[in-house]
Chains A and B, each alone.
Chain A
């Protein structure tokens, strides 16, 4: 009965590969996010979707493409992975703006 789940939990891959991370929430929330946490634990928002519509798109390379097939899912596809993409990626959701965001357990991506 996990509220926000992410798969995979760990992802080790080679530079240049393409990979996807999946996120699902069963809270009935309208808004979902992707955050990147770097090696110094700094958290930065990447994308936000509301009802499958892109709301926030921070200055993220075009190699990152989010996709929301429905309100409960927000996936992140990364093309041509680079060493600097190594980080922990967190998915989050909330009912509406300014309300509490619920975070997934994170996906630890290591690019070799």
Chain B
């Protein structure tokens, strides 16, 4: 079975500061990993995904994430936060070659202070 743990339900940063949102996964088989963003009152939008190619994945809006198998982590980073980055971020996992079920973490709400 797959599971995702997102450390920190709330993260607050200043505008221009580094953004680091943590995601650890558990999977009995090699996983595919995703980060989605949800802006207020909207659906989810894909930021980036890892599908066993490069371990450092670049996404939209300047975000990137690094797959570290030894640490079972897939943390999301952005060098410089912008006010428009304020949103809820979800990490998700699905097994490679397995069922289509996408398992989400509980989400991290990012606040960006001016």
Contacts and interface: CB of A to CB of B under 8 A. Distances in A.
B56 interface: no
Interface in B21-55: 32, 34, 36, 38, 41-46, 49, 51
Contact of B100 (A31, A40, A42): A31
A56 interface: yes
A69 B106 CA distance: 32
Contact of A101 (B38, B51, B102, B103): B102
A106 B34 CA distance: 20
B43 A100 contact: no
Q: How large is the interface on A (under 10, 10 to 19, 20 to 34, 35 or more residues)?
A: 20 to 34
B100 A41 contact: no
Given A41-B88, A41-B107, A103 B99 contact: no
Helix, strand, loop or mixed for chain A's interface? strand
Contact of B99 (A44, A97, A100, A104): A97
Contacts of B43: 4, 90, 103-106
B42 A100 contact: no
Contacts of B41: 106
B94 interface: yes
Given A43-B44, A45-B103, 19 more contacts: A41-B38, A42-B104, A43-B107, A48-B100, A55-B99, A56-B99, A56-B100, A56-B101, A90-B44, A94-B100, A97-B94, A98-B32, A98-B100, A100-B46, A100-B49, A103-B43, A105-B43, A106-B41, A106-B42
Interface of B: 32, 34, 36, 38, 41-46, 49, 51, 88, 90, 94, 96-104, 106-107, 109
* Across the A-B interface, the 6 shortest Cβ-Cβ residue pairs: A103-B43, A97-B100, A103-B44, A43-B104, A41-B107, A105-B43
